[in-house]
Structure 1
Amino acid sequence: MSGASGRVLVVDDNRVIRQLIRVNLELEGFEVVTAADGAECLDVVHRVRPDVITLDVVMPRLDGIRTAARLRADPLTSHLPVAIISACTRYEVETGIVAGVDAFLAKPFEPADLVRVVRQLTRRDGPPLDDRYEAGRAGSTPGSARG
């Protein structure tokens, strides 16, 4: 593992959401690197060597689902855990599962849920994320992210 708890590549076109995710993960000991869209993610992933990647779905140039599919198609990144953090439709969740996404967290999310999902993916020893989309669907609090 790279950082104290691992290195996370956070990919979201919204600067505020990227920063919110970064702060919450850094407070828990993760090293965080960010990218503004899927194309930038693919450009930096080999240099950054993350332990986990989080992706928004709707982004310019290359969306999160296609980014996940490309990560899975590349032998150097096919093993990396990928979580979608987005306000997904059921279709996007189903398409994401087919593309090889490991977990889903719906926006708005609770920071504790974000940390739990990233920790489980980093360790790969937590319970399976069968509640993939439902895990983060609970109501929001003032510190929650929206997107």
Structure 2
Amino acid sequence: MLVVDDNKVIRQLIRVNLELEGFEVVTAADGAECLDLVHQVCPDVITLDVVMPRLDGIQTAIRLRADPRTCDLPVAVVSACTPYEVDSGVAAGVDAFLAKPFEPSELVRIVHRLMRREDPPSFDGRHGAGRAGSTAG
């Protein structure tokens, strides 16, 4: 599990909630650090904040999808999830969205779903929370 958020408190909150569920968690403070760590850590799932310094979550997702080594890695955006963020995230290939503030149980549910490679429910009842153009399997 790789948790990426520029806010240290949020990063620790996500990390602790996932560790309590038995996940091994590594954290990064922004997208650039995420891209530096991803090949060393080889996470099963990445959570990304959207608004971060150096490299934001959407640009990070785009780069992850462009790299053959990480193109199939499940990615969840954990952010304010404005309509713009959701639309940009879907276009970038993000698999799931969780709006801040969030319930820890919902975070855990989404991560479990992504690890099992199940399609998460759409965000806010909209279509397209899954990866555009992806096929199951």
TM-score relative to the length of structure 2: 0.88
Deviations 1:103-141 (A, max 9, x none): 00000000000000000001114xx2232356xxxxxxx
Deviating above 6 A after TM superposition, structure 1's stretches of 4 or more consecutive aligned residues are none
The answer as to 2:17 corresponding to 1:24 is yes
| CA distance in 2: counterparts of 1:22 and 1:69, whole angstroms | 23
Contact preservation (8 Å) 2:114, 2:120: no
Partner of 1:143: none
What's the Cα RMSD here? Answer: 1.0
Deviations 1:11-43 (A, max 9, x none): 000000000000000000000000000000000
Q: Aligned-pair distance for 1:45? A: 0.3
| CA distance in 1: counterparts of 2:63 and 2:27, whole angstroms | 18
List alignment gaps of at least 5 residues for structure 1.
1-7, 135-147
List alignment gaps of at least 5 residues for structure 2.
126-137
TM-score relative to the length of structure 1: 0.83
Partner of residue 104 from structure 2, selected from 105, 111, 121: 111
Partner of 1:44: 37
Deviations 1:18-76 (A, max 9, x none): 00000000000000000000000000100000000000000000000000000000000
Partner of 1:132: 123
Please state whether the residue corresponding to 1:129 is helix, strand or coil: coil
The aligned length equals 125
Partner of 2:131: none
1:50-61 aligned at under 5 Å gives the runs 50-61=43-54
Contact preservation (8 Å) 1:37, 1:60: yes
Aligned-pair identity (%): 75
